[in-house]
Structure 1
Amino acid sequence: MVRTAQATPTSYELLTRRIHRQVMSPNAQSKRQTVIVREPREREDDWDLLLERLGEEESVRMTWMGNGVVQLTWTNQHPD
């Protein structure tokens, strides 16, 4: 049996996976919005990079609510 080594995800990858799960949740998808918050264990530079990349998305609107809380709203890019 041959095993392949799995790379340990970076802190940024872990952050993006968490936010992706949150955005893809049925509740967030039905409302097309969610509120994201940086958790204490997450790096500030990772958080800044994530927000920068989200800000580049034309379909995403970010509203800063204070204390590191950001509301994301988005349009449906693939209408039914």
Structure 2
Amino acid sequence: FLALARLKWMLGTPEWAQPAALSMALAATAFVAYLTYVELFVLEEICIWCLALAVLTAASLALTVWGLFSGGEG
């Protein structure tokens, strides 16, 4: 999350920053999806902290995609 925030607020954001942010958000979402699978189907337990992380990661991906398609403004 900190790396995504840093890329968003860099002064003079280079053109590679948005694709890099999208790549990081996609990688984080894929990893959290794997961890959620393990949580539900292997451990058969639900962890509130893991659920919170999954929600925050999905929100991060959604905001990154929204920023990419809105021209990086906002």
Q: Does TM, normalized by the shorter one, top 0.5? A: no
Larger fraction in strand: 1
Alignment TM-score, normalising by the size of structure 2: 0.35
Larger fraction in helix: 2
Structure with bigger gyration radius: 1
Alignment TM-score, normalising by the size of structure 1: 0.33
